[in-house]
Amino acid sequence: MSSQSPIIVIGASAGGFEALKTLIGGLSPDFATPIFIVWHVSADSPGVLPEVLNRYRNGSAAHARDHEPIEEGRIYIAPPDKHLLVENSHVRVSRGPKENRFRPAVDPLFRSAAYHYGPDAIGIVLSGALDDGTSGLWTIKYRGGKAIVQHPYDAEVRSMPESAIRDVQVDHIVPVAEMPELLERLTSELKSRPKGIEMEFSEYEQKKTETELDIASEANALDKGVLGLGELSPYTCPECHGVLSTIFDGNLRRFRCHTGHAFSPDSLLANLTENIENSLWSALRGVDESIIMLNHMGDHFAEANDVKLAALFFQKANESSRRGNLIIEALSAHEQLSFQVVKEQSKSLNATENDLDQNDEKRQEQSVG
């Protein structure tokens, strides 16, 4: 298939299953534009999406196979634990580094579509948590493609759509039920427009996209010059503890380590706060083990009739127990943070402040009366 023919790339996460069924089920039977889907699933998932979508498309949906040709009327779905990429005439499937804590991830698919198809790429972000897909959708827009986002009020989980709308100049924000008709129109327009229009990109953007596609395709990130894509940050990679560099898509900031893992700010925050909890549990385990050992030593010396030394070991065990209780308090107070969590807290805070203001106004009115 020629890179001059349009393609559609779709990213979805939590809440995306129903959205995908609605979108694919609404397309006309003769809709021929190839569709590529990344839906976040766990590595051990049985991968039921092709079977479900084939109820609507008569066997045209399947998990993608590495290097298979791109054909009209097909729906290619990222297999569990594999990235899905597109090239000019064929599909790539790889186990490159995770992005935003996922493999498959939406951004690598979107970047590959933007790089190889440019203005003929249509990117769609559906329901999902955090912000995977935003960076890739930005690249599609930067290279002349179309950006479509499910309306947040129509999404079961609004974070991915809201992130894309916030950071990308989206072309269409629509409920998923309206997308089939929109895609029919857009693909028809793309097929009829003049071809061969050359676009120019900055040397940095070209190098960045090529390097990141190589990394997603399992190339050695360090050998490909990943450290030259941005400035070193004060953060370490939550996946491998490598140093993270700051990379920019326009004004959109994100991070990638020298082994290849990539993070948006929201996914990095979520991972860092999750690791804090893991570290606290690890610290509590260490304290508990020291308490067990100190009491064991105390019992040993008590049996040996060394009362003073036994008492000292028991005292140290009690001191460690108090420190363990402080860790338990820290665990109880710890929050798993993301942009959406903080945003919801901000809404609650504003609502509380408004209630307080209204109560103050009522008290003032009563005092005047």
Report the catalytic residues.
13, 40, 132
DSSP element (H, E) containing 189: helix 179-192
Amino acid letter, 98: K
| Beta-strand relationship, 83-86 and 61-63 | unpaired
Instruction: Write phi, then psi, for 203 (nearest 5 degrees).
Output: -60, -40
Give residue 36's Cα distance to chain centre. 17
Concatenating the DSSP letter of every residue in 228-288 gives GGSEEEEEE-TTT-PEEEEEEETTEEEEEETTS-EE-HHHHHHHHHHHHHHHHHHHHHHHH
Q: Compute the radius of gyration of the chain from its Cα atoms.
A: 26
Q: Which of 38, 100, 83, 106 is nearest to 262 (CA)?
A: 100
Segment holding 346, helix H or strand E: helix 339-368
**Is residue 86 classed as helix, strand or coil in its secondary structure?**
strand
**Placement of tokens 């030394």 in the chain:** 309
Cis peptide bond N-terminal to 97, omega within 30: no
Nearest CA among 285, 209, 282, 196 for reference residue 2? 196
Q: What is the per-residue burial (b if ≥16 Cβ within 10 Å, else e) of 292-324?
A: eebbebbeebeeeeeeeebeebbebbeebeeeb
- What's the residue count for the chain? 369
CB 85 within 8 A of CB 121: no
For residue 91, list its beta bridge partners: 86
